[in-house]
Structure 1
Amino acid sequence: MRVAVVGAGLAGLAAAHFLRREAARRDIRLDLAVYEASARAGGRIRTVEDHGYRIECAANGVQGDDGAAARLVKDLGLAGERVKASPGAARRYLACRGSLHLLPTSPPALLSFGAISPRARLRVLAEPIVARRVAREETVLKFASRHVGEEAARALAGAAVRGIFAGDAAKLSLDSAFPLMREMERKHRSLFLAMSHAKKQLGGRGLWSLRAGMGGLVRALADSTEARLRLNAPVLSIERTDESQRAGDSQWTGEGKPPGWRIRLASGERTEADAVIVTTPPKAAAALFRQLEPEIARRLSTIESAGVAVVALAFLPQAFRSKPDGYGFLVAPGEDLEILGAVFESNLFPERAPKGRILVRAMMGGVDRPELLARTDAELVALAMKALDRTLGLAIGPERTWVIRQEESIPQYVLGHRSLVGSIASGLDALPGLYVTGNAYRGVSVGSVIEDAARVATRALS
């Protein structure tokens, strides 16, 4: 069976891995090729190693010990390379009302949580009493406001959405962005009751990474593909192999042999496949489908993404008037800070910085400030330092800095996203052998991307 994977980011490399594994299990002879437009595999996931520092350009870890990512790492023989986040990283802060506040992990701690007013704290504590189930789709902010009140929702849910999606809690769909929260409400009505139950039932939910950083995962995947990995090989379009097929009438009726597919590369080369898995960002995917199926292309093109700039800064310990503690901090909407949040990387994974040094990674941009990505490196470093000075106090500047721009990197799961993804899937059902996967559809986390790649790979061989 001939299968082409378009894109060699995490989704494409994971899909190639699962295709090989599933083909071997089913004793299917597989002719697999992976096409990547750029000069390197791995997509946005990359770990920069410089002067003893490891800087993550995108995701900095994986949550949970029993998911698809953990199984993939085991498949790759990297289980012994896993490192768990330091226990102290469980402490997380919120920048709100001009200072850092330790996020409460229990109802008693909430009573002294200074990021919200005393009245708002009482409203949060009333959640088990006032919580109700709602079946309709709603925004993250609307959902959180129903459960914990508007003031706490704006600060807490607003900061969480900025930190994870670089987005706006008033626009993102709770059902698409945080489906587990909806499931918790459905089962337990109250989020407090659900979290209490989860603490008793769940274990192994901590954050972990690899000793070489997240870049080690995509490098291992690229090294193990045993496929034709073609770098600097952008794909321009996907066509039917049946030349007599009229434009605009590309859908298969279900009778006879399913269509085969031809992909056309920028080099002029054409190659045929029985199945094609497209793992590029949605707008790039839309371009591939534009001539073949304009309606699918239109739907793909409506998925918007936010860009972020990552600024990493290396400090001596004496640089801070208040020592960075725990995981880091998120910034509540409306705060006079130019960053979305900061991660204290050397607290989280000590091996990411030389002994006696502190590594901080600040994120900025997102849907609120997309224009920041056009600033110079020096300007972005200055903005990050200003934010750290206001929150922690800086006595001296950083020893080293790094700036990474990730244009249109985080899809925005706005209201209607789940229906949109469903309509794309329905359209592809009429084009057997064509599939899409990646972080634009069913989850932005590393684990979600890997899980969806496994699902699509299994379908492609069916």
Structure 2
Amino acid sequence: MRVAVVGGGMAGLAAAHELATAGVDVLVLEGSDRLGGKLRLGQVGGLTLDLGAESVLARRPEGLDLISAVGLDDRVVHPETITASIWTHGALRAMPPTVMGIPADPEALAASGIAVMPEPRILPAPEHDVSVADFVTERLGRDVLDRLVEPLLGGVYAGHTDQLSLRATTPQIAALGDDLVTAAAEHRAAATASGPVFAGLVGGVGQLPAAVADTDGIEVRLSSTVRTATRTAEGWRLTVGPTTDVETVDVDAVIVAAPAPAAARLLAEEAPDAAFALAAIDYASMAIITFVLDDAVVPEGSGFLVPPVDGTFIKAATVSSNKWGWVGDSGRTVIRTSVGRAGDATLLQHDDGELASRALADLRSAFGTLPDPVDQVVQRWGGGLPQYDVGHLDRVETVERSVAAVPGLEVCGAAYRGVGIPAVIASGRAAARRLLDAGTIEA
């Protein structure tokens, strides 16, 4: 039996791995010239570094499980420091304890000078979905939202809390109950013994896609855009490749692991309700700008977040050479900055030199004097992050119902129930398991 996986990001690769290890022949069709989605390695100043995601959430098992399954567990490392700051009110200020930006220590928040929190309002969570902004502001005030919650979510989703769904993006906040601050303090106390929050790989997490693709039973075709997916009496027929040289591929089942716009196009005929719901999911574009400096010149700490309300160009900076021992061993300072949020399309129309110049100016404002970098790389992620706006989970349920009614079809990816690496791996594995458990395919 043979299954086609449309999309070679981490969700598609995880689905392929799950199927291949069960004895199924898998064909991964990726429209671009490389695998990995938002995982990517590149050269900056002679160093091989992550130009996309650089860590996985260690408190979810799926990422580390897959890393172990493909033989990379001996390279797993944890951050040397996770001491982060907020750059606001003209200074770098130590991040007080929070749960996704909800203060867990009001005294530490007051001492930080980051935000002023009024007396918290004790209110039950609404039964319907609301925006993160509406929920937090009503209970803790706009300053807490703008200077703690917003910068944290901006780093994950590149979105705006006025649009982002509470249920879809911050279920941790919704789960705190009526008294957010008290519950946040209790949650933080309970979490202190839970082990490291994040993990990475010596040499970069961008090694993971190739390691997964090397699994026996997985065939990969790059630069292979899938144009249609149509049910046949025996399974599915895909048309693949440029319009001037279309190839037909017959398979027993299909997992669509493409971003929502491409998935909507492929599902329009066989699962129109799913296609309609997917078409409603917006995406944000952003860029990561990596600088390499010759000397260890940056203060301690893993980096900082920036509240958008302060009007700076960058939204975050990570001092990778402080955060990861294997990067710091180079003897150089490596700083990653991120720019771009939903609706900021014009910002990314600047050329690479302008993006890097403006990002470096912000770094110098935050850190003080910095020497000129020896190298810099701008990695653009156009349409890279799906926006989980209010009502997102209802849209996802519509997609899942529609797809479930079509034998031999599954979907997975960041557009559904989580954008982090473990979440998309879980999405891909679950799609593969549904095919196997349904008996649609035989190992």
2:291 is the counterpart of 1:313: yes
Q: C-alpha displacement at 1:98, in angstroms?
A: 2.3
* Residue 191 (structure 1) shift: 4.6
Aligned to 1:275: 253
Shift of 1:66: 5.0
* Structure-1 separation of matches of 2:30 and 2:204: 22
- Equivalent residue, structure 1, for 2:432: 457
Tell me if 1:393 matches 2:383. no
Secondary structure, aligned partner of 2:288: strand
Output one character per residue of 1:293-348: Cα deviation in whole Å (capped at 9) or x when no partner: 44432221211110111111112347x5xx33312111112213111111111111
For 1:151 and 1:44, how far apart are their aligned partners in 2?
Answer: 32
How many residues of Structure 1 are paired with residues of Structure 2 in the alignment?
426
Report the TM-score when normalising by structure 1: 0.87
Q: Could you say if the C-alpha distance between residues 395 and 200 of structure 1 is closer, same or farther in structure 2, counting changes exceeding 3 Å? A: closer
Q: Extract structure 1 runs of 4+ deviating beyond 4 A.
A: none
| Closer/same/farther in 2, CA of residues 275 and 211 from structure 1, 3 Å limit | same
* Aligned 8 A contact 1:61 1:207 in 2: yes
Q: Deviations over 1:237-275 (max 9, x none)?
A: 101214xxxxxxxxxxxxxxxx72111112422122221
What is the rounded CA distance, in whole Å, between the counterparts of 1:326 and 1:154 in structure 2? 22
Measured at CA, do residues 167 and 197 of structure 1 come closer, stay the same or move farther in structure 2, by a change above 3 Å?
closer
Structure number with greater Rg is 1
**Counterparts of 1:416 and 1:130 in 2: how far apart (Å)?**
24
Partner residue, 1:416: 391
Q: Return closer, same or farther for 1:93/1:434 CA change in 2, 3 Å cut-off.
A: same
Counting aligned pairs with the same residue, the percent is: 31
Q: Which segment drifts farther, 155-164 or 43-52?
A: 43-52
| Residues 1:402 and 2:394 are matched in the alignment | no
Residue number in structure 2 paired with 1:14: 14
Matched, 1:104 2:93: no
Is residue 16–residue 225 contact of structure 1 (8 Å, CA) maintained in 2?
no
> Which of residues 303, 318, 333 is equivalent to 1:343?
318
Q: Distance in 2 between matches of 1:48 and 1:333?
A: 29
Q: Is the 8 A contact 2:5 2:257 kept in 1?
A: yes
Q: Matched residues in 2 for 1:39 and 1:409: separation?
A: 16
Aligned-partner Cα distance in 2 for 1:455–1:191? 35
Q: Which runs of 5+ in 2 are unaligned?
A: 98-104, 438-443
Contact 2:317 2:336 in 1 (8 A): yes
Unaligned runs of 5+ in 1: 25-29, 243-258
Which residue, 148, 155, 158 being the options, matches 1:163?
155
- CA RMSD in angstroms, aligned pairs only: 2.0
Query: In the alignment, what sits opposite 1:196?
Result: 186
Q: Which amino acid aligns with 1:237?
A: T
Residue type matched to 1:155 in 2?
R
**3-state SS of the aligned residue for 1:135?**
coil
Give the distance between the partners of 1:169 and 1:56, measured in 2 at CA: 28
d(CA) in 2 for partners of 1:353 and 1:112? 31
Alpha carbons of structure 1 residues 67 and 191: separation in structure 2 relative to 1, 3 Å: farther
Distance (whole Å) between structure 2 residues aligned to residue 342 and residue 349 of structure 1:
14
Check if 1:82 corresponds to 2:81.
no
Counterpart in 2 of 1:179? 171
Structure 1 CA distance for aligned equivalents of residues 270 and 183 of structure 2: 50
Q: Contact 1:82/1:208 (CA < 8 Å) preserved in 2? A: yes
Of 347, 357, 373 in structure 2, the residue corresponding to residue 372 of structure 1 is: 347
In structure 2, distance between residues paired with 1:6 and 1:214: 22
The alpha-carbon distance between structure 1 residues 16 and 334, as it changes in their structure 2 partners (threshold 3 A), is same
Deviations 1:23-59 (A, max 9, x none): 25xxxxx232111112222122112144452332221
| Whole-angstrom CA distance in 2 between matches of 1:327 and 1:225 | 38
* SS, match of residue 307 in structure 1: strand
Aligned partner (choices 214, 217, 222) of residue 213 of structure 2 = 222
SS of the residue aligned with 1:461? helix
Q: Indicate how the Cα distance of structure 1 residues 370 and 223 shifts in structure 2: closer, same or farther if over 3 A, else same.
A: same
